[in-house]
Amino acid sequence: MTAGDPILLPDQFNAAEYFIDRHLAEGRGEKVAIECADLRVTYRQLHEHVNRVGNGLRQLEVCIEERVFLLLLDTPEFAASFFGAIKIGAVPVPVNTLLKPADYEYMLNNSRARVAIVSDSLYPQLQAIPNGRLRFLKHVIVVGGEVPSDTHLFSELMDRSSPELDPELTSKDDAAFWLYSSGSTGFPKACVHLQHDMVVCAERYAKAILQMTERDRCFSVAKLFFAYGLGNALYFPLAVGGTSILCPGPPKPQQVFHVIERHRPTIFFSVPSNYAALLAHPREHDKDFDLSSVRHGVSAGEALPAAIFYRFKERFGVEILDAIGSTEVLHMFIANRPGAIRPGSSGQVIPGYEARIVDESNQAVGTGEIGNLLVKADSTCALYWNQHDKTKETIEGQWIRTGDKYHQDEDDYFWYAGRSDDMLKVSGVWVSPIEIENLLIEHPAVQEAAVIGRKDRDELIKPLACVVLRNGATGTPELEGELKNLVTSRLPVFKRLRWIEFLPELPKTATGKLQRFKLRQQLSEPD
């Protein structure tokens, strides 16, 4: 099968058979599927764990199409719970592990999940929800630790469940799992993904672009609850018979370097802010960290500035393949590929997908003109749960509006210009914050930058830069002048910076996406 050929699956299809069961028949039973610190889980053990979870859920009377809430850290129990639910035709709903009780209350009621599987360290977040507020939840299964009498212990449920389980006879178009959008612009929406969606993403990106094989070892800074991380660290390696390296803790630079040096991943997935943090982390004892095992770095979540690409390659010898995906499309649809990288761009459309850039009247724009990005992909979610109008606004037949502004060059590379609601109109001309940010990051003192609009005394919008400095740099008036001059020397005068604010950090979602709206709220008024 070539990269752009249709992906043919039988009408009767259960994703757990494809990603879990078939590896035993193909002789990978004793191969390590998951590494997590000192723990090693083989494909045979993972198969058994998936079956035990599925049978355990059936003991709790979970039926086909019913949702199973997953509030889990990145551990092997996540993989077993996710595919165990899918194998019985239930619908796992992985959720962000960094939210508050009110968020979980909303998601539990919105999903109508009857069962929640929760890591013990996260269980207090559910306990904090007032009694009587959860209308549908009947059972809580806790992974690890001691649990109150009104919950189930994951290990005990596994012990009393059979290791044998036949997959539910689901369709390739049945609901398989939900993912809530990151909520960077408002309350999260549940994207309903189907049984075939993960196969499409694995074939189109993991196999065709990254050339992933069973020899690959995948480590992702993006966590499993995130659409990007779910592919990187779960179904991509499982699609090819490779190995996933999981890390349940926060992705602090020291920990990330430790995992890479200890577990030797061949593909490292991260986000721009983490790549910047890794670069800012100093060498230890005059010896730099060893990333020689990594054949590809991958970035998504936001556009990767060219300056970070060059700095990372110079320091560690690793080229970063930037790409763009979304929760709605599940994973990448535009990507740089090995041997065809254009730093600063999102790359070219992935074979098998289609993309076009249109104006407000849905007419195609010319080369180099900024417009709205539309994508056609067979991995696009079926709908937003219980959001009919939003579904119709976003999904137009086979095309989905990504909410991103882009332009395309003469070689068909796509260049990110910002989210549709982040564009600035200055002196009557649209200005992309990304263009200014990429320039600022070229300065050796700058680690991160975010540009927003602020009204001047005449109530006209002008660019304001929020800048996070690298270790040891100080936000002096002299540095502010340097940064303003850098932008003025390289861009038209109407794009010049009127203000610079030096900040200790930028507000972001748990998945690393910049929350510009918070900066606008904090810095909307001039001094």
Query: Residues in the chain, how many?
Result: 527
pLDDT at 2: 59
Which segments in the chain show pLDDT lower than 50? 184-185
d(CA 337, CA 158): 42
pLDDT at 428: 61
Tokens of 89: 């035709």
pLDDT at 184: 44
Residues 504, 387, single domain; the answer is no
pLDDT at 253: 95
Inter-residue contact 212 to 206 (CB < 8 Å): yes
pLDDT at 185: 46
* 425-457 pLDDT per residue, tens: 676 666 788 889 999 999 999 999 999 988 887
pLDDT at 327: 94
pLDDT at 182: 63
- Whether the CA torsion 290, 295, 301, 303 is positive or negative: it is positive
Beta strands in 127-200 (DSSP E): 139-143, 152-153, 175-180, 190-194
Residues 186, 208, single domain; the answer is no
CA proximity to 499, closest of 479, 517, 526: 526
**Half-sphere exposure at residue 484, Cβ-oriented, CA atoms within 13 angstroms:** 17
Can you list the alpha helix ranges (DSSP code H) found in 112-270?
A: 123-127, 154-159, 197-201, 227-230, 236-240, 253-263
Query: Does residue 293 lie in a domain region?
Result: yes
pLDDT at 417: 87
Can you list the alpha helix ranges (DSSP code H) found in 264-330?
A: 272-280, 306-316
Residues 248, 378, single domain; the answer is yes
Residues 140, 226, single domain; the answer is no
CA proximity to 317, closest of 333, 296, 286: 296
d(CA 241, CA 218): 11
d(CA 401, CA 142): 38
Distances (CA, A) of 135 to 60, 213, 457: 17, 45, 51
Range of the domain at 237: 204-419
Query: Does residue 408 lie in a domain region?
Result: yes
Query: Which residues neighbour 146 within 8 Å (Cβ) at sequence distance 6 or greater?
Result: 120
CATH number at residue 378: 3.40.50.12780
Residue with the two structure tokens 């609850």: 225
Under DSSP, is residue 90 helix (H, G, I), strand (E, B) or coil? coil
Residues 251, 391, single domain; the answer is yes
